[in-house]
A and B are shown apart, each in its own frame.
Chain A
């Protein structure tokens, strides 16, 4: 019977062959923290935050890549595990401009550090992803500050020379999720790990800016970055997570029908993210779906009915007047020339419900089957 059994935190679970410790744990609602682990891609074991203690093993084991084994006894929050995670976090926090509140706010050094970061950031504000950062969350969870190690200088300047994505190397923890998102999920093969050792950097095409690489700005990397190293240019410092509400909907561009979240602040769409874990797109989007939403707020939107005057110019009209006019004119044309001289072009961009109403109007009111849309075009 009990072929494939594993004990995690004192509880006994069954598992399938080839499952990792992390998979068994999360299936059973045991929370093992991860940073580099990316669903849909092979685990890289890059960040070491998911380390767990396995009875009888010499060293801690990475849960994201360590396979579950029969008879294994695992502790996910033992003192040893916690010590290791604290150390990992402390090293990460000292790796750059992690100026959210976790970096020793009671120290006089704070100001110095903060000033330095502000200068590099060009903003007096705290990190742009404050409140929406895995590293910050974990620092709170494990009660660490960035004080343990001195801040290492960031050798690479921020890249802002494209319309969509800001790459802030000073906050990169080199977890590699963006690289996996680009190569294993979207398969755009635009970014890679470059250089070695302390000089390691995520680079595009021979260390060129994204705009001169194979990057197509799908923004998958931004979505998966657990920290503030990759952020949407338009939203940076302007949109904080607690100021927005998210509305799940379907993309309005191509027929893939990606599921996405519209982030709304003060009645305006300010950011878009892919809805994760749900078909058809499982979190992925393309450049249009993610960044092409400005038309919603465009000042060029039509806001009032317009009627053409004798002199050929449009004038604003009330709904009442405009609808009366349309009803009257269509009624006359139907009367005089017959419904078949009328045509309805519905749209591949409006909803099913609206298309249904449009064709019903043509058929039931105008008594014609002259209904089509421009999809063939």
Chain B
């Protein structure tokens, strides 16, 4: 997030899109609900489903799946045409405005309505509402990123925020909500193929040299590595030989699971390090037991870039070890000594090679976490980013045109499928499904459908239905819901036995490598 969670209550307009906040980030959603209920903030929700937050919203725009670039460009069209944008911010702090203006010219409210289904007048009203904010906050999640053009969606939202001068101010910002507790941290410390810690590019010779010196090695690769979604297909072709997977379960979370399974089986060697025998671990050559969050010391970085402590409360079961200890031991036996006394010792090393973490020490975050960038021990941390300037100097507008989703409905596969989570379960369910109470509340997969669509297939609430896409099929129960939109079904992806990802499409965003989980075409039939 460019801003903090607390900042949400300082916004006077909040735009939430592609985030079922009350179910996926419940505590953060309270900040939104409080802002609206008690602080007079206006709420705009843009979502294809009638999610809970729509009942708090002043405006709910219901877009057709995969048309986000269109409504965002449409908003900017109106804002520029009616001269509601922040001229000073655009002049002083941005580049590329003219290209943007030219591009959005054709996104008239009428044109937008044709593609997105959002009524022209509503688009105009929403544009005025957002542009009228003193501080407008944009919150988004996987509903924006999990598309073949997810990167375009994100850049478009940044365009919108810059256009209205909503960056670098309290209560503003473009705020991605991270779905997993330490996504932010995993990226910060170099868990990505193109960057070292603190996003230092692996292609930058200076960065390579710095790391070689810090680590006492030579010959680090300066070639961008493969993303997970690129590794698997290469394994299928036999070009890729070995994977070491820590705490992930791609065999429920990956798109087009049937294919992913083939790829993984094709590996020469697979090591899985986890707390449970997951679907993925079952295919491993070696399984290594690790400690869970309650059994170790360390830090996580949350969605607002706040680095916070993790502390050991109980001992790990049996012989399970801390993840870092296992990896260090393997390295050492391969001839590169890695040994640390504690996670704090590792953190001290991170500080030396990670400028944004340099000032964050364990004693400093004993009570309260600190927002990076925090370059020095006397630096208070940075709750709001870009207050004076962007890392690249001026903010760049990206003129982005609309590209339809990779797969559309047709006669054979007439319904859209979109996937996501429910409040009582988490990700692939390996953790939450161990709590009986959570299972009692959300015991099994389901297919959320509007009663009208169900009627066409003569399906009743609770019936078993087979859902098939070009890639596979699953069987689950029908659930009538007023959250559903006509023409679209929703399936949560937590449940391995009816894994939504047997259906999803592995078409990737060319930049982020994120699969299009949020749109694919399916057909339904009553299960025998």
Contact = CB atoms under 8 A, between A and B. Distances in A.
A and B, one complex? yes
Interface of A: 162-164, 184-187, 216-218, 233-234, 247-259, 262, 264, 267-269, 278-281, 284-289, 291-296, 298, 300-308, 314, 319, 322-327, 329-331, 333, 337, 339-365, 367-377
Interface string B272-299: 0011110001001111111011111011
B136 to A, nearest CB: 21
Nearest to A220: B30
Contacts of A344: 243-244, 246
Contacts of A251: 181
Nearest to A285: B27
B307 A352 contact: yes
B34 interface: yes
A178 B177 CA distance: 28
Contact of B225 (A162, A307, A371): A371
Nearest to B240: A341
Given A308-B285, A324-B333, A353-B350, A375 B187 contact: yes
Interface string B311-345: 11111011111111011111101101010000100
Given A288-B432, A319-B321, A326-B271, A253 B368 contact: no
B440 interface: yes
Contact of A350 (B4, B182, B304, B321): B182
Nearest to B37: A187
A176 B9 CA distance: 24
B226 A343 contact: yes
26 contacts: A216-B22, A247-B311, A256-B27, A257-B369, A262-B294, A262-B313, A287-B424, A288-B426, A291-B435, A292-B431, A302-B275, A302-B320, A329-B269, A346-B247, A351-B299, A352-B301, A355-B185, A357-B346, A362-B244, A364-B215, A367-B219, A369-B223, A372-B193, A375-B187, A376-B514, A377-B514
A183 to B, nearest CB: 8
Interface string B346-361: 1101100000000000
A235 to B, nearest CB: 12
Contact of A376 (B223, B228, B247, B338): B228
B298 A352 contact: yes
A373 B248 contact: yes
Contacts of B331: 361, 364-365
Nearest to B255: A377
A343 B247 CA distance: 14
Most buried by A among B307, B315, B326: B326
A287 to B, nearest CB: 6
Interface size on B, as a range, is 35 or more
B228 A307 contact: no
A301 B243 contact: no
B96 interface: no
Given A249-B309, A280-B6, A186 B185 contact: no
Contact of A357 (B245, B250, B287, B338): B338
B292 A296 contact: yes
Given A216-B22, A368-B225, 8 more contacts: A253-B426, A254-B177, A280-B28, A291-B437, A349-B247, A351-B300, A352-B347, A364-B336
Nearest to A337: B241
Contacts of B255: 377
Pick the 6 closest A-B CB pairs, nearest first.
Answer: A303-B318, A257-B302, A163-B437, A255-B178, A351-B298, A369-B225
A305 B27 contact: no
B180 interface: yes
Given A255-B184, A292-B431, A356-B350, A347 B220 contact: no
Contact of A255 (B239, B302, B329): B302
B286 A307 contact: yes
B155 interface: no
B306 interface: yes
A350 B246 contact: yes
A348 B423 contact: no
B202 A369 contact: yes
Contacts of A216: 22, 26, 423
Contacts of A284: 27, 30
Nearest to A339: B221
B182 A349 contact: yes
A250 B294 contact: no
Nearest to A347: B247
Contacts of A292: 426, 431-432, 435, 438
B190 A280 contact: no
Contact of A258 (B27, B193, B317, B441): B27
Contacts of B258: none
Nearest to B366: A248
Contacts of A360: 190, 215, 338
B521 to A, nearest CB: 20
Contacts of B164: none
B285 to A, nearest CB: 5
Given A329-B285, A359-B190, A369-B221, A352 B319 contact: no
Nearest to A251: B181
B191 interface: yes
B434 interface: yes
B177 A293 contact: no
Given A262-B313, A355-B186, A361-B330, A164 B437 contact: yes
Contacts of B231: 343, 370, 372
B124 interface: no
Contacts of B338: 357, 360-361
A330 B242 contact: yes
